[in-house]
Amino acid sequence: MWTKKSVLVLGLAVALTFLGLVFRNLALMMTSVVLLAYLLVSIFLVRVSRVVPQRKMSSEKLFEDGDISVQLSLHNKGLTRTGFLEVRDKLPKQLDVRDGSNYLIVDLRGGEKTLINYRIIAPLRGIYQIGPVSLRSQDVYALFYEEVSIEDVQNITVFPRVEEVKDITIKARSLKLYPGATPVKRPGPGSEFFLVRDYLPGDPFKNINWKQYASKRKLLVNEHEVEAVSDVVIVLDSREVSKYGTEANNSIMYGARAAATLTNFFLKRRDSVGLIVYGDKLLSIKQGSGQKHLFEVLTALAGARAEGNLPFKGVVDYTAPFLPKRSPVIIISSLDGDETIAEGVSTLRVLEYPVIVICPSSIEFEMAARAKTRQGLGDPLPYEILKLEREIVLSDLRGYGANVIDWDPKTPLLAVLRETKRI
């Protein structure tokens, strides 16, 4: 590849050749020949040796604000020296290099190896690509260069940040009588005290209430409350409107963190969790439990992109036949640009699904983004109108019996989740 310097040298050589011919000046002609020879020799000095990169990473999956270590090994398998060689391990702009560097200038002899070590921080959830490795060599006069891109590519998955939640009062109306953490108002195996009854043959002696026996001289047994599991369905809105704001502060980013936190809490409570993500297409993950299911949900949340404009009513019509009976449906959406949201919530309520709507305010995201720019907010009247329209939508959803939580981005997620009512 030609550089600006080589183009200038070529232009000067051509100009001197023209002037030498016009004025029949041998010195000018000889100078132009020297410059052209200079360029010709430099072209043959440019080469990229057989350098083979190999990358190792400490992990391919991490949470937001986590870090991974990267080691890039470079092996010159050629017989000659590389000369001036620039090596760059390409990274997306969302990843920050904290320790070391992904860029190196090196001169490797034939068969020699070297290492590039650096540490990257991932502040935002997503699926990112590390690589390819770019090798760039130039001649000693910096006239020409040659660049080769080696497709040594690896993906890393950055999960949404998960907050530790102690308790959320959400459970299904129809419970599965399997061991879980949701109390059921009936006697059976569990950890919480329920009642005291008369001793019956076959009752284990460990359940006998000896204090009652000492006072009443009668065998009585402690009964515990049955603890069962509950099905929960989380619906995340990833339509194009969910990206309003900045890349780090928008509805889909906050919504993914809320969905990840809720999933982690319910699975720790041994409940069964299903996930629906809709935007340009519909992604549905069937109800499941356990650590493997948690990482399946987190991976889906990490890959959710703000695209498309699927109507919520269509999502409900398609998924309602497959939803567990009378289980809580948690909708995380900014509610912008969808006139079918109220109709969809109404359908869920008619089918006796408890509905919780967690609504990150995209208006606040946009106002915060504009406040950081030189544009400023401008006329505040349009924002006041949008807030009024939003309040009308929230009021309509509450009228259908949904538990609606208006989430101001300034409010921490844990405080928002505490507003969920027992349903």
10-residue mean pLDDT series, the chain (423 residues) = 74 83 84 80 66 91 94 87 86 92 88 92 94 81 72 93 80 49 47 63 74 77 66 93 88 94 90 93 92 94 93 94 89 91 93 92 80 62 79 91 88 79 51
Same fold, 51-159 and 231-417: no
Helix (H, G, I), strand (E, B) or coil at 93: coil
Q: Domain coordinates of the chain in residue numbers?
A: 51-159, 187-228, 231-417
Q: CA dist 397 to 31, 250, 310, 355, Å?
A: 84, 22, 19, 10
Q: List phi, psi (to 5°) of 121.
A: -110, 135
Write the CB contacts of 217 (distance below 8 Å, at least 6 apart in sequence).
Answer: none
Q: What is the CATH number of domain 51-159?
A: 2.60.40.10
Q: What is the CATH number of domain 231-417?
A: 3.40.50.410
Structure confidence at residue 171 (pLDDT): 59
Check whether the bond before 92 is cis (ω within 30° of 0). no
Q: Within 10 A of 203 (CB to CB), how many other CB atoms are there? A: 15
Residue 101's Cβ-count burial label (10 Å; 0-12, 13-18, 19+) is exposed
| Contact criterion met (CB below 8 Å) for 106 and 282 | no
Structure confidence at residue 186 (pLDDT): 45
Helix (H, G, I), strand (E, B) or coil at 237: strand
Structure confidence at residue 279 (pLDDT): 92
| Contact criterion met (CB below 8 Å) for 224 and 191 | yes
Alpha carbon 341 to chain centroid, angstroms: 25
Q: CA dist 319 to 66, 171, 233, 402, Å?
A: 35, 20, 11, 18
